[in-house]
Structure 1
């Protein structure tokens, strides 16, 4: 078994074991998918920067999502490092990514909510946008939500999730801080170290460990305060 296979087995086993312990397998999502109030009218995003203050790109590099065989176009550097980590954890711990499951950079300036402008700068990804569309809540199962909350806490506020927006989009993950923010550089550096260290990073994490659950809960409390 190679290192990638071993990481995948560890991650999958940890998630399933945690979910089983919590009694979260084979049950309905948190709530039936319900529409939230949102302005669905598309407008044209103007300016040279996206809502999160990153520079809008005419093109973006295609990056491979480790272990999935899929790729996504993202801004190079720290943004790609962090967003790819999110995609890898989704793949290892929530569900296998398939063709066209993940979208990133776009050149279309048509947006229905400001957060969608972040795709113009290559600093956001959408995972299964048709399954988790704009304006709908409650699409994730409880054990999947545990993983999402763990990812957000692990990345210490560098990533925001569209499920927390007033106009929700549960497929959406974005860089929440500007390009010069020290947290972005620090978290990206940590993730690069993990990728170079056996036994660390995506595929080796158990989001259901009590300490991690407590950390995710505490982080959410800080963000809400």
Structure 2
């Protein structure tokens, strides 16, 4: 059994060891935090560079940023239209939810769409005026070639009833080209900018419909 001096020495050594471990632990925390802090600006810069490669430096007629292409790492991606052979490149998020609803109801209730009959994204260099909304992924043309710009009367009365019902679903955030002074009856676009709260509200409503049987696209409309 050691002396009191031995015990004090051992305690002193023990305390010193604990302190050293604590200091080492704090050093690890600080080093990890420093590395994480260093990574944050680097990640932000990488994200900004990727964003710069995608954006073309302008906004479409409805106020959304136009992009250099679809499926290139930006906000515009090609997605299938459930229950149809159609795919369409649209801005992901609320825009895609709403415009997909329009396309699906058209397909189910107005006329079945074939592959290639829903045109979403188009390059900024190929569009002007309201059609620049294609370059931001916020517009879609259905059955291109069927409904010639400047010509009206492409829909039967019963089809127009359904079409107006689809627009009512969208509560004013989607406009139809048939209502333009120079009609473009195959054209549908988001009518509000990215900061308009109505877009998220309508998208949430449509998503709720899609999760419930008997709601949303594909429900037969009783014509009186």
**TM-score, normalisation: structure 1:** 0.69
Mapping 1:10-29, distance limit 5 Å = none
In structure 2, the CA distance between the partners of 1:125 and 1:95, relative to structure 1 (3 Å rule), is same
- Give the paired residue count: 163
Q: Structure 1 runs of 4+ off > 6 angstroms?
A: none
CA distance in 2 between partners of 1:87 and 1:201 (Å): 12
Mapping 1:49-128, distance limit 5 Å = 49-58=59-68, 59=70, 60-111=76-127, 114-128=129-143
Two-structure CA RMSD over aligned residues (Å): 1.5
| Residues 1:148 and 2:158 aligned together | no
Deviation of 1:108 (Å): 4.0
Q: In the alignment, is the contact (CA less than 8 A) between 1:160 and 1:174 conserved in 2?
A: yes
Deviation of 1:183 (Å): 0.7
Q: In the alignment, is the contact (CA less than 8 A) between 2:57 and 2:65 conserved in 1?
A: no
Q: Tell me the SS of whatever aligns to 1:204.
A: coil
Deviation of 1:110 (Å): 2.9
Aligned to 1:171: 186
**TM-score, normalisation: structure 2:** 0.69
Q: In the alignment, is the contact (CA less than 8 A) between 2:60 and 2:132 conserved in 1?
A: yes
Structure 2, unmatched stretches of 5+, are 1-55, 71-75
CA distance in 2 between partners of 1:120 and 1:201 (Å): 27
CA distance in 1 between partners of 2:177 and 2:210 (Å): 26
Q: In the alignment, is the contact (CA less than 8 A) between 1:147 and 1:207 conserved in 2?
A: no
| Residues 1:159 and 2:178 aligned together | no
For residues 125-156 of structure 1, give each alpha carbon's deviation from its aligned partner in whole angstroms, at most 9, with x where no partner exists. 00012000211111111111111111111211
Q: In the alignment, is the contact (CA less than 8 A) between 2:67 and 2:124 conserved in 1?
A: no
CA distance in 1 between partners of 2:197 and 2:187 (Å): 23
Please tell me whether Structure 1 or Structure 2 has the larger radius of gyration of its CA atoms.
2
Identify the structure with bigger relative contact order (alpha carbons < 8 Å, sequence gap 6+).
1
Q: Tell me the SS of whatever aligns to 2:79.
A: strand
Normalized per residue, the structure richer in helix is 2
Q: Tell me the SS of whatever aligns to 2:100.
A: helix
| Residues 1:195 and 2:210 aligned together | yes
